């Protein structure tokens, strides 16, 4: 079945069932302590078909989605303004809010797509450095900027401000912050934490970096929600540090929707046998969020998935839902799927039960 036919047919079926349930008084009240969000990645780069956006928003809303999460590249703040606005307006018509996902900003966050940071290109003096003075480079998004330069912090603050001025943004998601467990030998880093600082000191500085940005944004936009997640297989010391970020409403992780023994293909493994899975390693984040009076967050990684793993996802999604995570995020028609319709129809059967 083709994508549009699947969307429209599943929408019609679910709408009929919903109408029937309401008519006989069986519609269940939604749990206001839960948020369901869709990662709607790169629909606006650069071809956008308004009719398709409307269909997508209808599908999301009918399956209980509260928020549409849009990745925002630095370039989108001037090169895709109207496209993002169309998505935001269509989401609002369906009573869904817009959350922004800063993407590849200064090389310090993930998001989509995998591209180098424009800010980093124009500010080479802010690059993180290895001990030998060479830039800290990765094959995904190029160089990473150092958090110890004030202009990097200011860039994050001003860019979120610009996005809020452009669109009706209700929240910001810090997706997989990239500087945990990295030793920065840039001049400003050495000046700030010392030449022989330990990894734990750099981790605390990175935590403070996000606390500073969140505090500023919360002070200016009191209704703005803040969300942050790291890999599910991160070491305990990273989880403990990131969990203490201040002015953060939701804290959690992303990972595959199964456990370490389910034989699904995982996107990463950490030390101490930790796997990038929500069940197992990801469960640590629930207690950590509660400890710091934060709400919990899980991102279901249903992207880049082999077709044979969809059956594992279907089997374990009920277990994922049983954990009653406060903010659950899924990918809407994500990248690298052998059978996108099968993946989405499997996901749809379960996420509609979340709230």
pLDDT digits (tens, 9 = 90+) for 131-174: 999 999 988 889 999 999 999 999 999 999 999 999 999 999 99
Average pLDDT over all residues of the chain: 92
pTM of the model: 0.92
For the domain covering 35-114+147-351, report its CATH number.
3.20.20.80
pLDDT of residue 8: 58
pLDDT of residue 355: 79
pLDDT digits (tens, 9 = 90+) for 267-291: 877 767 899 999 999 999 999 999 9
Residue 70 structure tokens:
């849009």
Portion of the chain with pLDDT greater than 90, in percent = 84
DSSP one-letter string for 281-321: GGGHHHHHHHHTT-EEEEEE--SSB-TTHHHHHHHHHHHHH
Rounded to 5 degrees, φ, ψ at 305 are -115, 135
pLDDT digits (tens, 9 = 90+) for 169-216: 999 999 999 999 999 999 999 999 998 999 999 999 999 999 999 999
DSSP one-letter string for 22-33: HHTT-PPPP-TT
Distance CA 232, CA 20 (A): 40
pLDDT digits (tens, 9 = 90+) for 73-132: 999 999 999 999 999 999 999 999 999 999 999 999 999 999 999 999 999 999 999 999
Question: Could you tell me the sign of the dihedral formed by the alpha carbons of 52, 53, 58, 60, in that order?
Answer: positive
DSSP one-letter string for 187-231: HHHHHHH-TT--HHHHHHHHHHHHHHHHHHHHHH-TT-EEEEEEE
């Amino acid at each position: 079945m083709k994508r549009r036919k699947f969307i429209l047919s599943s929408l019609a079926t679910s709408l009929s069932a919903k109408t029937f349930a309401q008519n006989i008084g069986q519609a269940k009240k939604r749990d206001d302590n839960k948020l369901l969000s869709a990662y709607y990645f790169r629909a606006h780069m650069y071809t956008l078909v308004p009719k398709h956006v409307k269909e997508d928003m209808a599908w999301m809303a009918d399956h209980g989605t509260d928020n549409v999460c849009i990745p925002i590249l630095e370039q989108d703040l001037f090169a895709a303004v109207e496209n993002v606005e169309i998505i935001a307006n269509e989401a609002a018509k369906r009573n869904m809010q817009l959350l922004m996902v800063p993407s590849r900003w200064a090389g310090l966050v993930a998001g989509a797509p995998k591209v180098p940071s424009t800010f980093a290109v124009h500010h080479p003096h802010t690059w993180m450095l290895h001990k030998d003075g060479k830039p800290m480079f990765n094959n995904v998004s190029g160089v990473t900027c150092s958090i110890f330069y004030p202009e990097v912090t200011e860039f994050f603050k001003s860019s979120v401000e610009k996005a809020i001025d452009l669109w009706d943004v209700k929240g910001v998601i810090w997706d997989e912050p990239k500087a945990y467990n990295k030793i920065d030998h840039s001049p400003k880093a050495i000046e700030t934490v010392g030449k022989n600082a330990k990894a734990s000191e750099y981790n605390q500085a990175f935590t403070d970096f996000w606390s500073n940005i969140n505090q500023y944004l919360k002070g200016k936009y009191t209704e703005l929600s803040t969300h942050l997640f790291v890999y599910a297989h991160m070491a305990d010391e990273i989880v403990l540090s990131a969990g203490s970020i201040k002015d953060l409403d939701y804290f959690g992780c992303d990972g595959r929707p199964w456990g370490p023994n389910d034989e699904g293909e995982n996107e990463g493994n950490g030390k101490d046998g930790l796997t990038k899975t929500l069940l197992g390693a990801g469960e640590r984040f629930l207690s950590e969020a509660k400890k710091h009076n934060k709400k919990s967050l899980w991102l279901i990684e249903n992207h880049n998935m082999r077709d044979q793993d969809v059956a594992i996802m279907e089997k374990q999604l009920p277990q994922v839902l049983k954990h009653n995570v406060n903010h659950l995020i899924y990918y809407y028609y994500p990248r690298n799927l052998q059978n996108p319709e099968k993946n989405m129809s499997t996901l749809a059967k379960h996420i509609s039960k979340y709230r």
